Structure 1
Amino acid sequence: MNSEASTVFEFGPFRLEQSEHRLMHKDRPVPLPGKAFDTLSVLLERHGKLVSKQDLMDAVWPESVVEENNLDRNISTLRKALGEQSTGEPFIETVPRVGYRFIAPVNVATPGLLRRRAEDREPEPRHEIRFCVTPDNVRLAYATVGSGPPIVRVANCFNHLDFEWGSPIWRHWVRDLARGHSLLRYDGRGNGLSQRDVDDFSLDAWVQDLETVVNAARLETFALMGHSQGSSVAIAYAVRHPERVSHLILCGAYARGACHRESAELLEARRALETLVALNFGKSNPDFFHFVTSFYIPETRTPEEQEWFKNLQLISVSSRNLVRFMRACDEINIRDLLPKVTVPTIVFHSHGDRVAPPEEGRIVATEIPNARFVPLASGNHLLLAEEPAWKVFREELESFLRR
């Protein structure tokens, strides 16, 4: 290996710092075993060039004789850690029976250059977590970040204010929405940092949570964003308090829960899913978490995103509360409120959404007077940062909020 371990390699969303013996992904460390890190360093030092297996083993194990399967394990570890490039290609190419080549574009920088870049970068926003208490005595956690006209994001099922701060599932939502705006987020009852031991899971309780949080934050007028079940909460709030909502933003929205839109056969399948959740099936069968992930982000591109969403499911809500949450969502029916919405409204919906059927989004956009509908070319219920639909969402939202 290069004895001058001060070089920094940047590729895709990753940065390898040799002097710190650290691999970073968007400012978060990626754990790697020592020899896997050394293998990646050698490949980056010779990026674009074929490195034979023997040369790699000599560089990584300079004073030892090792079997080739040790190198194979390192390459396998690296592929799991890095995932694929945004083009769908691997970062490391295998040349059968010969060796490996790092094929992704690589920028090589010195620490001095990186420091200058860091000084030029806009500082990362910081969020401030506080607590408030609802009229029925439930403690709620909420956080604010950024400055400017306020946006309030309604709580969802899988929320955790602290955990999602660095999550590839939610962090781009926080980062981009907080640009030029003050963003208020909160964990709903039974979820995240809010009180877990609660009895009332219902639409009315969720609207009360929203009312409590915006009052605690002393917001007078704000843009209101509802995602998934949160869209129904946002609609109900906007009908009750139209004078406080400047813009209504709905993503993956539905006005009718499963009990009011699904066939008897599909409802039976829904009840079976709830039984598996109640039995905490994911603990004994990790594939269950991947099954849930396939509904929310079927177009995920990296193992990291899948792992984060699995961990979000585990940390954000208990199995017992999740079942109660699901049943409360199934009972939602606010279609009669749609014609009563009087605030400017935009409705975003992915064409392949498996959580909220696209037809439900079209119903919402049709029956809210003068609502604008933006279809998104995605199968994800939660848009990911690297997909083209996220760029469309950001641009359309920015245009809508300027009006």
Structure 2
Amino acid sequence: MWRHWMRELSRRNQLVRYDERCNGLSQRHVADVSFDTMVSDLECVVEAAGLDRFTLLGLSQSCAVSIAYAIRHPEKVSGMILYGGYVKGWRARGDPGEIATREAVSTLMRESWGKSNPMFRQAFCSMFIPGATHEHFAWMDDLMRRTVLPDDAWRLQAAFSVIDVSDLLEKVRVPTLVLHAREDNVAPVESGRTMAAGIPGASFLELESQNHILLEGEPAFDEFVAHVRAFVADTAGS
């Protein structure tokens, strides 16, 4: 699911990645999952890794975190790549119908995430990777169950729902490339267009895919990698 991302992103460059709080190898049941704390976490990772100047890649909700970091530390960011992101979370967007639907999903998440019956998690997976095989679904189901506890999953979704970086976009002063899957069900492509339109000088590219997480073997992933490599090469000295 992520192996091809790690392989291709590290093929020509050093790749530094981390699990956000309450996820994967990071500490579980952390009390504070606020947006500002997540930005501070990124600052800590950069400091611990001893990074002086680098290309910053944000995926999904971490696009907003990346934007905030780049504004705080433009001297460290040679370029920023944002994939599948959004300017406002679903609650911040304020659409009553969307809020009602998402709240229902959040309730199911809290009650069903850790259960042995994978029905809810598979439905959740289908939002992220509708083009996946049964093997992909099984792998992602196992990954979600093992790496995020039910209450943490619910709290993180609540935190992501109120993200709003609309007032930060115009403050970005680093070269930026925004990419988005055209038929993304998690973050509609309009979210990417809005993000790119608000960032001075940003480039925007739509990828022909349904998947929020691009899968190995689909042309959109190869296109993503090609544009990322070209952008890194063009901005490394900026």
TM-score range, shorter chain: over 0.9
Query: Within the alignment, does 1:318 sit opposite 2:149 as a pair?
Result: yes
Query: Which structure: larger Rg?
Result: 1
- Tell me the distance in 1 between the aligned counterparts of 2:168 and 2:39: 14
Q: Which residue of 1 is the match for residue 124 of structure 2?
A: 292
Structure 1 position 280, deviation (Å): 2.4
Give 1:260's match in structure 2, choosing from 74, 89, 92: 92
Structure 1 position 375, deviation (Å): 0.3
Q: Which residue of 2 is the match for residue 309 of structure 1?
A: 140
The amino acid that maps onto 2:88 is R
Structure 1 position 360, deviation (Å): 0.8
Aligned residues: 234
- Tell me the distance in 1 between the aligned counterparts of 2:37 and 2:53: 22
Give 2:209's match in structure 1, choosing from 366, 378, 381: 378
Q: Which residue of 2 is the match for residue 231 of structure 1?
A: 63
The amino acid that maps onto 1:204 is D
The amino acid that maps onto 1:194 is S
Structure 1 position 282, deviation (Å): 5.9
Q: Which residue of 2 is the match for residue 388 of structure 1?
A: 219
Q: Deviations over 1:257-289 (max 9, x none)?
A: 111224112201111111111112562542212
The amino acid that maps onto 1:196 is R
Q: Which residue of 2 is the match for residue 220 of structure 1?
A: 52
Where does structure 1 lack aligned partners over 5 or more consecutive residues?
1-168
Q: Which residue of 2 is the match for residue 367 of structure 1?
A: 198
The amino acid that maps onto 2:86 is Y
The amino acid that maps onto 2:61 is Q
Query: TM-score normalised to the size of structure 2?
Result: 0.96
| 4+ residue segments displaced more than 4 Å | none
The amino acid that maps onto 1:246 is S
1:168-187 aligned at under 5 Å gives the runs 169-187=1-19
Query: Within the alignment, does 1:349 sit opposite 2:190 as a pair?
Result: no
Structure whose residues are more often helix by fraction:
2
Where does structure 2 lack aligned partners over 5 or more consecutive residues?
none
- Tell me the distance in 1 between the aligned counterparts of 2:94 and 2:182: 18
- Tell me the distance in 1 between the aligned counterparts of 2:94 and 2:59: 20
Structure whose residues are more often strand by fraction:
1
- Tell me the distance in 2 between the aligned counterparts of 1:315 and 1:247: 33
| CA contact 2:175–2:201 (8 Å) conserved in 1 | yes
Give 1:193's match in structure 2, choosing from 25, 34, 46: 25
**In percent, how many aligned pairs have the same letter?**
46
Structure 1 position 396, deviation (Å): 1.1
1:74-113 aligned at under 5 Å gives the runs none
